[in-house]
Chains A and B, each alone.
Chain A
Amino acid sequence: MTDLSASGAARKSSLVTLDDRTRRRNAAERRFRAYGVAAIATAALALAILLVTIVGNGVGAFRQTFVTIPVTLDAQQLDPAGNRDRGEMSGVLTLAYGGLLNQSLRQSIEGAGIEVEGLTDRDIDDLISKDAPAQIRNRVLANPDLVGQTVEVAVLTNGRVDGYYKGRVSLASAANDGNTSPQQLALADALKERGLLATKWNWAFLTNPDASDQRPEAAGVGIAILGSLYMMLVVLFLAVPIGVAASIYLEEFAPKNRLTDVIEVNIANLAAVPSIVFGILGLAAFINFAGLPQSAPIVGGLVLVLMTLPTIIISTRAALKAVPPSIRDAALGVGASRMQTVFHHVLPLALPGILTGTIIGLAQALGETAPLLLIGMVAFVRNFPAAPPEGLFDPASALPVQVYNWTQRADPAFFERASGAIIVLLVLLLCMNLLAIYLRRRFERRW
């Protein structure tokens, strides 16, 4: 039975020469390692392609093509009563402003000595965005004293001309396009040569409301950002206190019994319920049953509260669990009640962890789309919601939903807008995550 070394001695070989088997095994080892590297490289590559395409498509939304022309704001047309009263002037429709704009544009073209070939007056007018008259009107209503003056205005060009300078539209594609023509683009080129037309940075993308199908150039994420912000407020003021309170109870006070077991399993499962199910719940409970308005940030916020609660509870409990029991013993040992122990000692120590978890929960809620579709947040909203709390009940959009909304439109210019909105969304998420990382680093405690 101890005859073990006999065969061992038989294969006595030098260590420095590799036998065939070892060589084969080492090759397998290298292959296996290569699979690992390939897997990571694939993931990183996918991330890179994703970010590059989105950012590449989206930066265009932050630049827009404008025509700069002097416009004479004719007092006769814009303020027939002549008393510069805002209420009366708001009776003047955008149509009048449009007429003035068209006139000014034609004059500018003439003044610059550009020969217009093969274009009707209408075609020339179409160079300007259909949203431009409304923008001038808003500007005049905000400052009625402008009436009667001649002001330099930079007005948006239409989406096709803008697309031409961003590479989306070419002379060839314009030939088959009902909304523009090679001649119109040639005119734009001529204006550009004379410095009247330029593509420049466009802050309005961040502040404008959505625009209709024919005016992609005027669409912005203003209402969407505001709507998302409102919903985040709701989540912050409801999900965080409720989540932290629930975690404190479950972690510090709850007896180990059937009920708390059920609650725990329940929370773990809720965290994995598809988000669209929460949308159905929101539709059935908040809109159909409770009668809250559709498209309102309050409803979106409530749905997101229910969705983020499990995330917040799970991370808060982990933070509470990380506080060593010795701290609790010390507080109880000097005669503090359990409640005092928790609120005076455990909670402050767990706070950084709770904050980090909360921010990550909020970030998740900010990017969520599917449930918001069901509660009507896809609606087309042109009016900014009022300030909270009443504004919470006004219709609004949300950033991710606005993205979805724009992808459903026919004009490819909206795809650029959608990618631009994604950039805004990703920047917000990045800031939140950086804040979470900062908090974790700054307050990290080792016991």
Chain B
Amino acid sequence: MNDMSIMERAVSQTDIKISARDVQVWYGEKHAIKDVNIDILDKTVTAFIGPSGCGKSTFLRCINRMNDTIDICRVQGLIALDGEDIYDRRVDPVQLRAKVGMVFQKPNPFPKSIYDNVAYGPRIHGLVRNKAETDEIVEKSLRGAALWNEVKDRLQEPGTGLSGGQQQRLCIARAVATQPEVLLMDEPCSALDPIATSQVEDLIDKLRANFSVVIVTHSMQQAARVSQKTAFFHLGNLVEHGDTDDIFTNPQDPRTESYISGKIG
């Protein structure tokens, strides 16, 4: 395939944030992702669904090159952010991750105060020059993560002392504070109870206004509730993707249909 044509197409359609072409991932000998082609839109929530081990999380981690930290992992193909190949030799993964933030399956606040957790990203990326700016960005991010009212009186307490749902929202606030363009979420609610889950889901819906959000989930209900676009992965293949409503009401592929109806997975 001609790389330039993709670049041009990607640039011409400004609402496409990320485009992936022929992506292959190997873990040592294991072919974990096969030939994935997908475009991810800006200011949209895209859900990756599929049975466990299907490669959805692996693919998500390719988008901000978190797979770089695993020695045996190899990525082939093209993933472009705003038309720029993120696996280009000249790209610094650190700079990339500042633009493509990530929230993980298990809440992982740093063993520091709530305030320092949120201020961490802006500080390392030099987004703030003084205390006042830091205060401002911390408040804005915590508000953005719908956590401000719960923690505004105890910003100096350790982040690890919060409840599970609060911790996960703190992690979202921490990711948001870095002012990324894309937010990747790897099963962000799997460790949470139903009430905390619905709070986080509400938050994801709000985040759509400013970011391109990609969420990996094993809950089809969650995908239906929060996403506009859905992609179904199976055994390393991207089987089908499109509007969430279409996928759930009118799946094209028999594998998608049997997954949605609960026969596999």
Contact = CB atoms under 8 A, between A and B. Distances in A.
Chain A in direct contact with chain B (Cβ < 8 angstroms): yes
B90 A1 contact: no
A5 B84 contact: no
B180 A8 contact: yes
Nearest to A5: B210
B210 A21 contact: no
Nearest to A3: B140
B209 A2 contact: yes
Nearest to A4: B210
18 contacts: A1-B140, A4-B210, A5-B211, A8-B210, A14-B84, A15-B82, A15-B86, A15-B88, A15-B91, A15-B92, A15-B95, A16-B88, A17-B90, A18-B92, A19-B95, A21-B126, A22-B94, A26-B92
Contacts of B179: 4-5, 7-8, 11
Interface string B70-91: 0000000000011010101011
Contacts of B88: 15-16
B31 interface: no
A258 interface: no
Interface residues of B, number: 28
Nearest to B89: A16
A3 to B, nearest CB: 8
A38 B90 CA distance: 27
B96 A15 contact: yes
Interface in B121-153: 124-127, 140-141, 143-144
Among B88, B92, B96, B180, chain A packs the most CB atoms within 10 A around the CB of: B92
Contacts of A16: 84, 88, 90-91
Interface of B: 81-82, 84, 86, 88, 90-92, 94-96, 99, 124-127, 140-141, 143-144, 176, 179-181, 206, 209-211
Counting from the closest, the 6 A-B pairs by CB-CB distance are A8-B179, A5-B210, A16-B90, A1-B143, A15-B84, A21-B126
Given A15-B88, A16-B90, A21-B125, A2 B206 contact: yes
A202 B90 CA distance: 64
Given A3-B140, A8-B210, A22-B92, 19 more contacts: A2-B144, A2-B210, A4-B141, A5-B179, A5-B181, A5-B211, A8-B179, A8-B180, A8-B181, A12-B181, A15-B84, A15-B91, A15-B96, A15-B99, A16-B88, A17-B90, A18-B90, A18-B95, A19-B95
Interface in A265-304: none
B95 A1 contact: no
Contacts of A8: 179-181, 210
Contacts of A26: 92, 94
A4 B99 contact: no
A4 B140 contact: yes
Interface string A4-45: 110110011011111101100110000000000000000000
Q: Chain A contact residues: over half helix, strand or loop, or mixed?
A: loop
Interface in A217-233: none
Contacts of A11: 179
A219 to B, nearest CB: 53
Given A15-B81, A21-B126, A4 B91 contact: no
B3 to A, nearest CB: 14
B94 to A, nearest CB: 6
B96 to A, nearest CB: 6
A5 B211 CA distance: 8
Contacts of B96: 15
A53 B82 CA distance: 61
Contacts of A12: 181
A188 B196 CA distance: 93
B155 to A, nearest CB: 17
